[in-house]
Structure formats: structure tokens, C-alpha cells
Structure 1
Amino acid sequence: MADLRNYQARVATAGSRADASIDEGLRAYMIKVYNLMALGLAITGLAALGTVWLATNPSAAVATLPNGTSLTNFGVLLYTSPLRWVVMLAPLAMVFFLSFRVEKMSLSAAQTTFWVFAALMGVSLSSVFLVYTSASIVQTFFITATAFLGLSLFGYTTKRDLTGMGSFLIMGVWGLIIAMIVNIFLGSPALQFAISAIGVLVFAGLTAYDTQKIKEMYYEGDGTLVAGRKAIMGALRLYLDFINMFMFLLQFLGNRE
């Protein structure tokens, strides 16, 4: 009987050590995901600020927008020429490239691609400074960050399986894309309001769903390369959730120039 109790104690000790090892590895993995995402957002912010400064420097202005914003030669090229479509679509192209090629890329190449994507996104998003006041952009950013932290924490800690909700939300994303394309031609304020409201809800839900899925992607036996790739793709998913939620909230809360 004593031998049996000793054996059970050894099994329990080994099990607790294994669980602790898994928990420690999972925490390190999730911290890496969040750090990559945060650095990506920082690069985007710096790229956006640098771009708008170069594009609207009053001392080198050559044109003026209807709202009174002065544009430099760079600003005219970036915001009023056909180049603006390249700037708008370049981040999307980088997302597809990274998603389809990440498994064949080295860790350094995958990280570099993510940083380039984040910088291109910043250049693309710099136009929001021409539409909204800086104060409302900062305010909306902090509101988005607070909401994101709460939703991501829920996705990380909940025991509920969010797979069913995620499938529904992904369908919602496609519905949003179609509605936005349609509204380019209709120009309906009511439809735009509905798109913004639904967009906030969809990406709020996706933040929790993606966090849970990123957590489930962790496997203790992954090597450094595989774990690094997973962390980059996880950071990309959360980054996109944050950016989209921010943009839809800005349409609600932003004060226009």
C-alpha cells in the first residue's frame, strides 16, 4: 500500500511539473505574440506620423485641400495621384504574401516582412490625419487599446469554445467587405453608419476568438522556427483585429477636420 501511495505521489509530482512547464512555455509564447503585435503598431504609428509630416509640411506646400490642409509635392503624389491606390492595396498584398509564404520563410525573413507590412500600413493610414483631428485619433486609439485588452483577456481565459462564434464572425467580415464595395458607388451615410457599427462588433468578437485560437496553436514540442512563425502569424491576426476595430471606432468617435 505504501508503495502504491509513493507511486501515485511521484505521478502527481511529475504531472504538476509538466503542467507548470506547459504554462510557462505558453506564457512566453503569448508574450512574444503581444510584443510583436505592439511593435508592429508602434512601427505603423511612426510611419503614419512621418508620412503625414512629409506630406503636409506648410513650409513646402504646393497645394491645398478643400479642408485647408496644405500638401507638399510628396503629399500631392501620395494622396491625389493614382499612386494612392498602390499605397492602399500594398498592405493587403503583404498580408497575402506573408500568409502563403510564411511556412517557407526563415524566421528573420518572416519578421522583416511583418515589419515592412506594418510600415506600409502606416503610410496607408496616414490619410486619417487629413480627415480627423489629432486629439480624436489619440482618444480613439486609447479606447481601442482598452477594449482590445479586455476582449483579448476574455479570449485567453474563457473555457467556452468560441469556434462557432468565430465562423459566424468571419462570414461577417466578408459581408462587411461586400457592403463597403457597394457603398463606394452608393455613398449612403446610413449604410456607412451600419457598416461602422457592425464592423466594431465583428472585430471585437474576432479579437477574443483569435486570441483563443492563437493560444490553442501553442504546442510545447514546437522547435524555435515553428514557434516563431506561429507567433508572427498570431501577432498579424491580432494586429489586424486592432487596426480594423480602431478604424471603425474612429468613424463613430472621430471629430473631422
Structure 2
Amino acid sequence: MGLVAVTAGLFALGAYLGRDLSYGWGFAAFIASFGLLIGLSFAARRSEQLAIGLLFGFGVLIGLGTAPTIAHYASTNPQSVWQAGGATALFIAGFGAAGYATRRDLSGVARACFWALLALIVFGIVTIFVRIPNGALIYSIAGLVIFAGFTAFDFQRLRRTQDIRAAPLLAASIFLDVLNVFLLLLSLFNRD
């Protein structure tokens, strides 16, 4: 969990430094962060230090990438950023504790969540071109349900994993759960 905390701190640093970035530069940082995430999956097998460095670089770059979005929400409805942060902490604590404590194998839940996430991505692309009443609300709530499952699964993996080399990848998974829940709640709290 220490790696997750440091990555979150570096995310906050990146978001602070990138608060004045244009959406174009934010998008470039967002794409670069996923390049680091792919590199992290390969580096985790070879070098723990390299994997941790890539994880921390990912935290900074994803912070830079999401900074324009967070800055927009902070300028239009600053209270929603704090509400989303608090609700994210409660959400992750609740579903993380449930996943950590359960003895039932949640790998089937993770598979279902993966396919549901792919369907949600397709739904998001469709809503760009087709107006669906309450599409953003449906997207946010479905995303929260999906990431509830991922959060429980990742915390169960945290309890069961003995391999220290898996720590950077597991930290990245938990951090992505936290980030996605935060962004979904931020969207939910800023509905028109």
C-alpha cells in the first residue's frame, strides 16, 4: 500500500503542475502514461527497481494527463472535487475491506468486470455519436459498479500475493481503481 500512497502523491504533484496545461498536452501526457504502464508490465518480471520507477513516472504522467479535467471541475464546482475525494476514500475502503476479508475467490468477478468494462467503453464511444438520455449518469453508475468489483478483486490479490515482484503491478491496479472511481464520482457530482 506504500507504493499506492507514493503513486497517489506523485499523481497529486502531476495534477498540481499540470493545472494550466491545455487539453492537448494533457492528452499527450495521458497517452505517455499508458506507455509507461505497458512498460511496467514487462519490467515487473525483470527488475523491481525499474518497475517501481515506471510506476512512479506513471503516477506523475497520469496526474499531468488528468490535470486539465480536474482543473475544469475545480473552477466550475470546487466543492465537487472534495466530495468526490471523500466519497472515493469511503468507496475504496468499503469495497477494499470486503475484498480483503472475503474467502470466496473473486477471479470470476474480475473476469465479468473486465468484459463489462469493455462494454462500458463501447457504450461511451456510442454516446459520443448518439444522444442517450441520462447517458452520463448510466456511464458513471455502471463504471462504479464495475470498479467496485475490480477494487474487491485487487484487494483480495493484495492479501493472497506472496511474490514481492508483483507489488508494482498490484499497486498500479489499485491506484487505477482509485483514480477511476474518483473520476466517475467527479462526473456524477457534476451532472447538470
The letter of the residue matching 1:91 is: S
Q: Work out which of the two has the higher radius of gyration on C-alpha atoms and give 1 or 2.
A: 1
Q: Determine which of 7, 19, 32 is the counterpart of 1:90.
A: 32
CA distance in 2, matches of 1:232, 1:38: 12
The letter of the residue matching 1:86 is: A
Q: Which TM-score applies when normalising by structure 2?
A: 0.89
The letter of the residue matching 2:27 is: W
Check whether the contact 1:154–1:208 (CA below 8 A) recurs between aligned residues: yes
- When the two chains are superposed, the root-mean-square deviation of aligned CA atoms in Å is 1.9
Identity %: 28
CA distance in 2, matches of 1:123, 1:189: 32
1:117-147 per-position Cα deviation (integer Å, ceiling 9, x unaligned)? 0000100111121134332112211110111
Q: Which residue of 1 aligns with 2:126?
A: 182
Check whether the contact 1:136–1:255 (CA below 8 A) recurs between aligned residues: no
Q: Which residue of 1 aligns with 2:175?
A: 239
**Count of aligned pairs:** 189
Matched, 1:250 2:191: no
Check whether the contact 2:10–2:59 (CA below 8 A) recurs between aligned residues: yes
Q: Which residue of 1 aligns with 2:2?
A: 35
The letter of the residue matching 1:108 is: Q
1:140-167 per-position Cα deviation (integer Å, ceiling 9, x unaligned)? 1111011101211111111122222221
Q: Determine which of 87, 107, 114 is the counterpart of 1:143.
A: 87
Residues 169-178 or 94-103, more deviating = 94-103
Matched, 1:161 2:128: no
Aligned 1:1-257 pairs, distance under 5 A: 34-52=1-19, 55=20, 75=21, 78-79=22-23, 81=24, 83-104=25-46, 106-127=47-68, 128-132=70-74, 133-186=77-130, 188=132, 190-218=134-162, 227=164, 229-254=165-190
CA distance in 1, matches of 2:34, 2:95: 25
The letter of the residue matching 1:113 is: L
The letter of the residue matching 1:50 is: L
Check whether the contact 2:26–2:66 (CA below 8 A) recurs between aligned residues: no
Check whether the contact 2:26–2:67 (CA below 8 A) recurs between aligned residues: no
CA distance in 2, matches of 1:160, 1:240: 23
Check whether the contact 2:37–2:54 (CA below 8 A) recurs between aligned residues: no
The letter of the residue matching 1:190 is: N
Tell me by how many angstroms 1:237 deviates: 0.6
Check whether the contact 1:140–1:254 (CA below 8 A) recurs between aligned residues: no
CA distance in 2, matches of 1:35, 1:163: 24
Q: Which TM-score applies when normalising by structure 1?
A: 0.68
CA distance in 2, matches of 1:88, 1:186: 25
CA distance in 1, matches of 2:32, 2:133: 27
Structure 1 residues 158 and 233: CA distance shift in structure 2, 3 A: same
The letter of the residue matching 2:189 is: L
Residues 83-92 or 162-171, more deviating = 83-92
Name structure 1 gaps, 5 residues minimum. Answer: 1-33, 56-74
Name structure 2 gaps, 5 residues minimum. Answer: none
CA distance in 2, matches of 1:236, 1:137: 22
